[in-house]
Amino acid sequence: MGPQLAAVGPAITVPRFRTTLPCRTRPRRLTSWRRAALPKDEDYYLIDAEESIGDGFSFSGGKYGDGPSKSDEWFAQGKMVNAYPVYGDKGKAKDPFFGLTMGSGSQSSDDVFRWFCVEAGSSSNPKVLLIHGLPSQAYSYRNVMPVLSNKYHAIAFDWLGFGFSDKPQPKYGFDYTLDEYASSLESLVNAVAPDKLSIVVQGYFAPVAVKYASEHQDKLNHLILVNPPITDKHVNLPSTLASFSNFLLGEIFSQDPLRASDKVLTSCGPYMMKEEDAMVYRRPYLVSGSSGFALNAISKAMKKDLKAYIESMRSILRSNSWKTKITVCWGMRDRWLSYDGVEDFFGGLNQKIVELPMAGHHVQEDRGEELGNMIKSILR
C-alpha cells in the first residue's frame, strides 16, 4: 500500500446516532430460483425471479448502535479532497418549503468543494478512477478496489451530493446540472490524477464521463463503461428514479431513506444486499435532508438533460476524432437499461463488449470481485 491521498481542507466529523427504521415486509412468490455462490457465500442472488421481487422490496431492521459501523470504517479509509470552486455568493441556504436556514450539511464550502475519496494500491502504479452511478457511492466499489490494488492505484470517490462529499442546497453554489458535473469531474481528476489514468464509470454518469474524456483524450489510457445509457430506450429514467423529480412528491420521496436507497438499489437487479451494507447507503439520508435535496435536484437534471447527453455521447463515440480505447461491461440482469441495441451500437464501432450474466445495473455492487478481475484483464 503506497502513500494515501493527502487530506486537504477542514476535516469533517461523521455523526453517531441511533435511528430505528420501520420493519416492513411484503409477501413474494418465486416461480423459480437457485442459489448462486459468491466467493464467501455470504449473500445470494435470486436468479430468474419475478420482476416484482426487485421492485419495492425493503430491508428489515436498520437499528444503528452506538458502536462502530461499516459506515464509520469506510469513512476512516478515505480523505477529503478539495476540488472545483464554489461559484456565486448566495448567502446561507434555506429550506425550500419553510424558509428555515439549513444545517451545515446543506451549505457550500467556503471556496472549494470537498470530495470524499478512497484509494487502494501504490501511488506509483497506473491510476484507475472508479466512478459510481446514480444513486450510489464510492462504497459500491469496496470489493473491486482490493482486487486492483496489487497492480493499480485505484481511486473511488463520492460525487457531490452523494455519500460523504459536500451536498450543498441547490442554487447555493452547485445546482447539480450535468454540465456542472462534467466540469467538476475535470477539477477532481486534476486533483487526484494529474498524469495519465484509466476511467471506469458505471450507469447514468457515463455520458458525463464521456464528455470529460472527449476533451482530455491525451490523459486517458482506457475508458471502461459499465451499463451506460446509450440507446433511445435509455433516455428516460426508470420509475424508481423518476419519482424523485416529481413536483412536490419528489422532495418528500427523496427524504425517505428506504425509498431513496433500498428501493432504488434493489429495483435495478435481482439481488439481495446484507443489512450492514444497506445501512451505509441509508446513512447520508438519515443524517440530514441534504442528501435528499441533492437527489431531487440531480433527478430533475437527469430528466431534463439526459436525452441530450446520451445523443452527445453517441456522437462523440462515433466521431473520427475519438481515439481512446473503450471496453463495455454489461450486467445482463439490468432491470433499468435494456440490452437491446447495445451490442449493435458498440459492435458497429468495433468496441469490445464483455457480458456479466449474474450482474444487474450496479455491477460493482453485485459482482465486485468479478468486475475487478475483469478490469485487470482489460487494462493488462
* C-alpha grid cell, residue 95: 429550506
Torsion sign across C-alpha atoms 44, 334, 240, 314: positive
Which pLDDT does position 15 carry in this prediction? 43
Which pLDDT does position 289 carry in this prediction? 84
Write the burial class of residue 319 (CB in 10 Å: 0-12 exposed, 13-18 middle, 19+ buried). exposed
* C-alpha grid cell, residue 52: 416484482
d(CA 356, CA 340): 15
Q: Are 147 and 120 in contact (CB under 8 A)?
A: no
CB atoms within 10 A of CB 52: 12
Which pLDDT does position 358 carry in this prediction? 92
Which pLDDT does position 47 carry in this prediction? 38
Q: Are 121 and 150 in contact (CB under 8 A)?
A: yes
d(CA 54, CA 103): 34
Which pLDDT does position 97 carry in this prediction? 59
Helix, strand, coil content of the chain in percent (nearest 5): 40, 15, 45
**CATH of range 106-379; options 3.20.20.120, 3.40.47.10, 3.40.50.300, 3.40.50.1820:** 3.40.50.1820
Which pLDDT does position 256 carry in this prediction? 87
Question: Which of 209, 239, 218, 232 is CA-nearest to residue 316?
Answer: 209
Ordered mean pLDDT values, 10 residues apiece, the chain (380 residues) = 49 42 34 33 39 32 57 94 83 63 62 94 97 96 97 98 91 90 97 96 98 96 98 95 87 86 85 85 88 93 96 96 96 96 93 94 95 96
Q: Are 269 and 54 in contact (CB under 8 A)?
A: yes
Mention every residue, 6+ apart, whose C-beta is less than 8 A from residue 317: 210, 326, 349, 351
Which pLDDT does position 170 carry in this prediction? 84
**Strand 79-85 to strand 112-120: parallel, antiparallel, or no bridges (unpaired)?**
antiparallel
Q: What is the dihedral of CA 123, 129, 130, 132, to 10 degrees?
A: 130
- Bond prior to 135 in cis (omega within 30° of 0): yes
